[in-house]
Structure 1
Amino acid sequence: MSYNKNDPAMKLMKILGILLGMTLTVGGLSVFVRPALAIASTQQQSAVSTERMNVESLFERGTEKINRGDYQSAIADLDRVIELDPNYIEAYCSRGMAEFGLGNLERAIAQFDLALQVAPRHADALNRKGIVLAQQGNLKRAVNNFGQALNFDSNFVDAYYNRGKARTELGNLQGAIADYNQAIKLDPNLAEAYGNRGFVRARIGEKQKGLEDLQQAAQLFLDSGNMAGYQQTLAYIQMIQR
């Protein structure tokens, strides 16, 4: 996601949206399952099983709709999921992503807050809330949310990457490099992290290291078949070499 900043260096960063976007994926959360009743009849167990199947089916359909960009219809499915299971954290997070897709940033944040009411230590809800806050321009609050996510999951690659992006925009370049370092340590194939770190290194005068990072990013994009990312990174390298 991009921000509205007037810094010429930041405008240069936005040229390569693939390199510089916040990491934001739909799905991938751990499903919250309520504890089973200690005593239940076979009929009750069957009813619970059927309800759970209905919930999961609705959730999967809602997620597929988000992936297709059918956000309003996805919200209707997720509303029903939450009606059936008010503790289904993934449904709140996905509904937040649907609202985000519609441009309803405050509503999106409200959904992540609902998820955090159910599970205050839910790292991915904190990470996603941070992304929306950053999109609003609330970068300091975003950094705080990414930091909280990392307090609860110290191996959360996306949170390191996203905090690095937000710190870059705030001008905390050494902090950004530290975050990109950690993201790369955890995921050596994260091309975007190499690309962002390369830009920051070039910006602080470490041009050669910056170019090496960008070349690594280009190779990783190429290896993964992401030709758009590859071509954009090459353009980025040419800009820095000038």
Structure 2
Amino acid sequence: MTLTFGGFSVFVRPALAIASTDRMNAESLFERGTEKINRGDYQSAIADFDRVIELNPNYIEAYCSRGMAHFGLGNMERAIAQFDLALKVAPRHADALNRKGIVLAQQGNLERAVNSFDRALNLNSNFVDAYYNRGKARTELGNLQGAIADYDAAIKLAPNLAEAYGNRGFVRARIGEKQKGLEDLQLAAKLFLDSGNIAGYKQTLAYIQMIQK
């Protein structure tokens, strides 16, 4: 059993080599599509990203975000196809590899997911998301020491990442390090509470109670 706290994404907006009017339109459409994803309006978001890509076929983040919208709709293969399109434009785009890994893991293709996270980290050794997500995939594969190493790396780069402490704590408890696991989970609960994430706080408390039994 693993904690399934949500990951987080880092967005890097590329420069657009197109006319100023089209650039403004593409930026506005991209931002609108991103807002729609945040609201769960995935189909409408896809339409916005389609238009962005028509205006600028090299807008990598539009492919990535369109992939996440397909992911939100449960269209896993279409989502992966979008990340592959992004990687055709920019083969060294670490975030496209990270997001592709997330979808592969959701499909149950854990080995391929780990490979995708590996490639992302080879391109960017400070990519917190990829360490965190690889830790989750390694946990599912039973590579618990590898998962702990990934959470260690994520925490080193992002010391307030509650999800990483929570997941590491649960894995530590699984390998018999109950006290260390509880310490991680207690710190995760505090970080969730301090950040106002009440759902994460309550979920972590439930895991603490389960481990203490």
Q: Normalising by structure 2, what TM-score?
A: 0.96
* 2:12 pairs with one of 4, 27, 30: 30
User: Which aligned pairs between 1:119-198 and structure 2 lie closer than 5 A?
Assistant: 119-198=90-169
* 1:104 pairs with one of 64, 75, 89: 75
SS at match of 1:29: coil
Q: Report the alpha carbon displacement of residue 29 of structure 1 after superposing the two structures with TM.
A: 2.4
- Please say if 1:81 is aligned against 2:52: yes
d(CA) in 2 for partners of 1:78, 1:234: 39
* 1:118 pairs with one of 64, 89, 93: 89
Q: For 2:189, give the aligned amino acid.
A: A
Q: Deviations over 1:105-163 (max 9, x none)?
A: 00000000000000011011000000000000000000010111111111111100000
Q: Report the alpha carbon displacement of residue 21 of structure 1 after superposing the two structures with TM.
A: 3.4
Q: Report the alpha carbon displacement of residue 229 of structure 1 after superposing the two structures with TM.
A: 1.2
d(CA) in 2 for partners of 1:35, 1:49: 9
- Please say if 1:20 is aligned against 2:4: yes
Q: For 2:105, give the aligned amino acid.
A: A
Q: Deviations over 1:181-209 (max 9, x none)?
A: 00000011001101111111111111111
Q: Report the alpha carbon displacement of residue 30 of structure 1 after superposing the two structures with TM.
A: 1.9
* 1:222 pairs with one of 181, 193, 199: 193
Q: Deviations over 1:23-79 (max 9, x none)?
A: 144xx422222558xxxxxxxxxxx11111011111111111111111111111111
Aligned to 1:6: none
Give the number of aligned pairs.
213
- Please say if 1:69 is aligned against 2:53: no
* 1:206 pairs with one of 177, 195, 204: 177
Q: Normalising by structure 1, what TM-score?
A: 0.85
Say if 1:160 and 1:180, in contact at 8 Å, map to a contact too: yes
d(CA) in 2 for partners of 1:77, 1:192: 31
d(CA) in 2 for partners of 1:228, 1:21: 10
Greater RCO structure (CA 8 Å; 6+ sep): 1
- % same residue: 82
The runs of 4+ residues in structure 1 deviating greater than 4 Å are none
**Structure 1: tracts of 5 or more residues without a match:** 1-9, 14-18, 37-47
Q: Report the alpha carbon displacement of residue 231 of structure 1 after superposing the two structures with TM.
A: 1.4
- Please say if 1:237 is aligned against 2:212: no
Q: For 1:201, give the aligned amino acid.
A: R
d(CA) in 2 for partners of 1:98, 1:89: 14
Q: For 2:12, give the aligned amino acid.
A: S
Q: Report the alpha carbon displacement of residue 22 of structure 1 after superposing the two structures with TM.
A: 4.7
